[in-house]
Amino acid sequence: MGIGDDAALFVPTPGYQTILTCDWFLEGTHFLREKHPADSVGWKCLARALSDVAAMGGKPRCFLLNLALPKTHIGRWFDDFLGGLNRAAHKFACLLVGGDTSRQEKILINVTVIGEVRTGQAVLRSGAKPGDAIFVSGRLGEAELGLRRLRKTKGRVHKSDLRLKKHLYPEPRFALGQWLAKNRLATSMMDLSDGLSTDLHRLCAASRVGARIDATKIPTVKIRGNDILFRTRQSIGQPKNRPRIALDLALNGGDDYELLFTVPKAKLGAIPASFKSTRLTYVGVTSSTKRIVLTDFAGAEALMPSDGWDSFRS
């Protein structure tokens, strides 16, 4: 059933569990009114909520859009927003079935996604066992690098700027998540929304394990000429620090929406080097110590701080 009644009504698929997730997407906190293309805001508000469904091994079913807009944004901005939203809804086969609207000075968005997963196949954060191999999909830090480039740009960025693609138009890893779930290869899984350093702490806490990550294994972005001028928390952007900048982006950058998952050693052989063009990288191993340790480029070990995105940080 579509929009019309106050509530949407649908028939759950027999033999499936329902997945339910929602995400804020707020001006100032998650996007910048004067910088982000409305088309990207529309795409990303849905894509990031969908990513939570992908990270359980599920498939999307439908979504609710809650939108509050200022008067000034009801015309052109809203049309562009709907353009991006509809493309994402079509691409990921997720139907808009309802929501609520209001008027506010700030642009406020909240998206609720309903997904489904075959009963018993959902992969949770809490299933990792000590000794499991830790994997990540794709390349980490690319979305954060895009955000930094966007912040340096004067005015609104162009939606087709390829250097910003991962930041503006993230793609939930549905095919990978479903394949891992269906074949029972992953003991735990979550999406990387707030940076590996923060999200790995969450996965380990839920699974009551520790981890040892090898910095040299983490798939990072290539830092180009201009990018080294960015100041990061761990580096002041000297050329010699390019690998450190890239590592900082990978560990502490948000919005990648890649998958972080653990695989029992006995099933390592079933994990290919890449899945449908997405690289899968073995970056470390879980442990029974409860400590999360990073082995750096020089082979030195240190506790890995949780320095990623935290919406309550400021």
Site residues (vs its own copies, CB under 8 A): 4-12, 14, 16-24, 26, 28-30, 52-53, 55-56, 58, 62, 64, 66, 68, 97-104, 106, 108, 110, 112, 114-115, 117, 119, 122, 124-126, 190-191, 193, 206, 311-312, 314
Cβ proximity to its own copies: between 20 and 229 the closer is 20
First to last CA, the chain: 40
Least distance in angstroms from the C-beta of 172 to its own copies: 12
Cβ proximity to its own copies: between 184 and 217 the closer is 184
CB-based contacts of 224: which residues, under 8 Å, 6+ apart?
A: none
CB-based contacts of 168: which residues, under 8 Å, 6+ apart?
A: 36, 37, 40, 43, 44, 146, 157, 159, 161
- Characterize the bridge pairing of strands 258-263 and 188-192: antiparallel
Cβ proximity to its own copies: between 98 and 254 the closer is 98
Cβ proximity to its own copies: between 128 and 157 the closer is 128
Cβ proximity to its own copies: between 17 and 287 the closer is 17
In 153-235, which residue ranges form alpha helices assigned H by DSSP? Answer: 165-168, 174-182, 196-207
Least distance in angstroms from the C-beta of 104 to its own copies: 6
Least distance in angstroms from the C-beta of 29 to its own copies: 6
Cβ proximity to its own copies: between 132 and 191 the closer is 191
- Characterize the bridge pairing of strands 274-275 and 278-287: antiparallel
Could you tell me the CA-to-CA distances from 212 to 129, 165, 261, 282 in Å, in that order?
A: 13, 31, 14, 11
SS3 103: strand
Least distance in angstroms from the C-beta of 102 to its own copies: 5
Smallest Cα–Cα separation from 129: which of 209, 236, 232? 209
Name residue 118's beta-bridge partners.
16
Least distance in angstroms from the C-beta of 55 to its own copies: 6
Least distance in angstroms from the C-beta of 98 to its own copies: 7
